[in-house]
Chain A
Amino acid sequence: MDRLLLLLPTTTYRTQDFLEAAGRLGVDIVCASDEPSTFEAHAPDNLLTLDFADPDGAAARVATLAARRPFSAVVGVDDLTAVAAAAIAERLGLRSSATAAVAAARDKFQMRQCLAAAGVPIPRYRRLALKDDPFLAARGVEFPCVLKPLALSASRGVIRANNIDQFMAAFRRIGALLARDDVEVSGDAAQFLLAEAYVPGVEVALEGLLMGGALHTLALFDKPDPLEGPYFEETIYITPSRLPADVQRSIEAVAAAACAALGLSEGPVHAELRVNDDGPWVLEVAARSIGGLCSRTLRFGTGMTLEEIILRHALGWPIASLVRERRPAGVMMIPIPRAGRLAAVQGQDAAATVPGVEEVAITAHVGQELVPLPEGWQYLGFIFARADSPEAVEAALRDAHARLVFSIAAV
């Protein structure tokens, strides 16, 4: 029986979908997390604790275990685990992109250096030291610009600045964010931030799978809500894209060039791009699959999930089809409207009855402290819909969202 190592942080939304996919494949599952499981002593062969921030240490630990019982594949489920998964795979000779390539994709500055060197279209960028005076750091920066941490995900800490005052405020706010107890960054990611030109245009997300260096597009998502700042909260993703076919092809070509520039060759990628009259611009390329519960919008072939495709690829198993079902689908990541404590949620039944809506998953719990962007990194939940057209999917998501009432009390 094939033995699969899944890297599952305690804070990821992705655990259930990956474990269910692995269960369907019938493989022997070993779960590694960043904190000890209450059952680790009962099942030491199937539960282990790894420091994902120490990829070499994680690889050495797993190599010791593999000497006794080999692994067939290792899969990291998100940004926090991508580099460690690559390091483990490289150490064990398993299918993965090179660790250096995955690490470059994890660092927004390194990523931009690689992409710029290869001529991939990206916004003008500069790395700035957080220890510097923000007024002096702003010299040479053109406005509007976007400031962002080097290593956080989900638009956390991403702030637009239209002038020097906004720049200094954003600079200090990101510095304070990186010092928070719930932010785990180290090295350059703790000492620098990135300032890059704001690129006007529509934004899309490309979900892909790299196989032998070739990028296979699994889905291209439109993001119909404008992302113009000052914060960049992602809400609605809808596939297939409504952009013209030639524009979609150019997006895929630029995303493929970005993967090649980084040296990524195997496994899932999630790329964010802006598109305007000058063509596609790469904002991010991550060596992981789509975050949150959003993968539930995707089905392939005869109903295969994204997670099953990722696991089959890692295991070297056949994949019947990489073609997404034809029916348009979408997800709304329900944003946190303001800071406070979640007191009550109403309207879930009404939201679930909207035609086209498949699921309303409220993931925040009553009593939870809610932190909006740019400091926050969570959502109130997710709404999923399928319909005959992308327009109908979008309408269903907005209708369902309008029926939900979140009572948020002051902290």
Chain B
Amino acid sequence: MSDDLKSRVQELIDTMINPAVAGHGGFVELIDVQDNRVYLQMGGGCQGCGAADITLKAGIERLIKEELPEVAEVLDTTDHSAGSNPYYQAGKA
């Protein structure tokens, strides 16, 4: 079941998510699916981006849950401090 869910998440990433984030030089990798929780890593322009959390929660997670309602949560395992080329850079305001 988990492998099947994993393959369906991967298909979503390949066909819908990565083509979208590619617009900002980003990409998303599926790390694992455990107990209906999807673990992702973000790279390229998404890694360290000031809008990465918006992309994850309002974009990626929403899309995955709409397409795969059995997914409980999407979790970001990215080391954002290691991002070398974030699309947007955060600051204190």
Contact = CB atoms under 8 A, between A and B. Distances in A.
B84 A367 contact: yes
Contacts of B81: 361-365, 381
Interface string A2-27: 00000011111101100100010000
A13 B92 contact: yes
Contacts, number: 112
Contact of B59 (A35, A47, A80, A153): A47
A362 B82 CA distance: 9
A111 B23 CA distance: 41
A232 to B, nearest CB: 13
Contacts of A38: 20-21, 23-24, 26, 55, 59
A12 B24 CA distance: 18
Given A15-B50, A154-B93, A377-B93, 5 more contacts: A8-B51, A37-B58, A39-B55, A362-B81, A365-B48
Contact of B89 (A80, A366, A368): A368
Nearest to A41: B20
A361 to B, nearest CB: 7
Count class of interface residues, chain A? 35 or more
Contact of B92 (A15, A31, A378): A378
Contacts of B23: 38
A383 to B, nearest CB: 13
Prevailing SS type, chain A contact patch? loop
Interface of A: 8-13, 15-16, 19, 23, 29-31, 33, 35, 37-39, 42-43, 46-47, 78-80, 153-154, 291-292, 333, 361-368, 377-379, 381
A30 B20 CA distance: 19
A23 B21 CA distance: 22
A42 B59 contact: yes
A43 B63 contact: yes
Interface in B1-28: 16, 20-21, 23-24, 26
B62 interface: yes
B50 A79 contact: no
